[in-house]
Amino acid sequence: MSTATAPTKSAASALASWRTPAVLIAVGCAIALIAFGPRSALGQFLSPLSSERGWGRDVFAFAFATQNLLWGAAQPFAGGIADRFGPVRVLCAGAILYAAGLVMMVYATTPLTLDLTAGVVMGFGLAGCSFPMVVGALGKLVPESWRSFAFGAGTAAGSFGQFLYSPLAHALIDARHFAQDRLGSPYLMPQVLVNVDHRMRVMREESFGPVVGIMRVHSDTEALTLMNDSAYGLTASIWTRDTNAAQRLGERLAVGTVFMNRCDYLDPALAWSGVKDSGMGCSLSSMGYEQLTRPKSFHLRTNE
C-alpha cells in the first residue's frame, strides 16, 4: 500500500524561491492589464454593431452601465469570498466569467442578450478578477516595503492595458463581418490610424468620416503648430482638466470654434463659423440670422 508523503524541504524551498515580490507584482500587473484592457476597448465595436444590429447608443450605454453597477456591487462579496476561500479561486472564477461574457457578446443579437453578456456576466467577472482583488492579495503576500510600489505598478499596468487594447481591438474588427462596409457603399467601419505623421493628408484635411489619426508630439507649441498647418479651420478640440490652459491654447488656434473635452457640439447661442478654407459664412446665434438677411437702408430727406 502506498502512502502520501509530505513535500520535501527542498521542494518547499524551490516553491518559495520563485515567489519573490518582483514575480508577484509582475503577475498582479499582468492581471490588471488584461482585466482593464478589453472592457475599455468595447467602444470600438459600437459603430459597426449598431449599424449591423440596428441598435442605438442607448443599448450600449445601458449594457455598460449594468456592467459597472454589478462590478461595484459584487466587489464586497467577492472580497469576502476571497478572505474565506483564498483569492486564487475567486480570480480564476472571475476570469472565466469575464472571458465568457466577452465570447458570448459576439453572439448577442438582441439588446437583452447584450445586457446579459456585456452587462451581467462581465460585471460579475470583473468583480472577481479586476485589480482591487489583486491589491488585497498583494497586500498579504508582498513585504510592507514593497506595497507602495506594488500598488503603483498595478495601477499603471491597468491604465496601460486601456491604452494597449484599443488598437488591438480595432485590428480584430473584421470588415467582412459587417455587410454594409464594402466598396461602393457609403458605410465605412470606424478607423483609428496610428504610426501617422503630419505629411499624410489624413492629418491635414477633413475626412468627413469615422477616421481619426493619433500622432505623438513633444510639446504644446508643436501641437499648435501642426494643428494650424492646415488649409481648413472649422473646429479644434483640446482635452485637459485645466480650463485656463484650454483658453490660452485656444486663442492661438486658427479655427472658428474651440472645444474643451468634447468636439462638434452645437450650441444655438454660439456662432458656428470657420476660417481659411472653412470660412464660408456663419450659422447659429444672432450672427447666423445676419447671414440669411439682406440689409436695406432708407435715407429720407424732408423739407422740415
User: pLDDT of 191-218, one tens digit each?
Assistant: 788 888 888 888 888 777 778 888 889 9
DSSP 116-130: IIIIIIHHHHHHHHS
CATH of the domain at 230: 3.40.309.10
Instruction: Supply the CATH number for residue 153's domain.
Output: 1.20.1250.20
- Residue 60 scores a pLDDT above 90: no
pLDDT for residue 16: 52
Residue 58: what residue type?
A: D
The range of the structural domain enclosing residue 92 comes to 19-168
Q: CA-CA distance, 230 to 33, in Å (whole number)? A: 38
Domains identified in the chain, total number? 2
CB atoms within 10 A of CB 115: 19
Residue 247 has pLDDT above 70, yes or no: yes
Evaluate if residue 300 carries a pLDDT over 50. yes
Q: 267-294 pLDDT, tens per residue?
A: 888 888 888 888 777 888 888 878 778 8
Residues 139 and 236 in one domain: no
Say if residue 93's pLDDT is above 80.
yes
Q: Are residues 138 and 35 in the same domain?
A: yes
Give the mean pLDDT of 45-55.
Answer: 68
**Residues 81 and 160 both lie in one domain:** yes
**How far apart, in Å, do the first and last CA atoms of the chain sit?**
133
Query: What's residue 154's pLDDT?
Result: 74
Residues 246 and 156 in one domain: no
Instruction: Look up the pTM and report it.
Output: 0.50
Whether the predicted pLDDT of 7 surpasses 70: no
pLDDT in tens, 26-49: 877 787 777 777 777 776 666 666
Model confidence at 249, pLDDT cuts 50, 70, 90, reads: very high
Look at residue 15 in the predicted model and tell me its pLDDT.
43
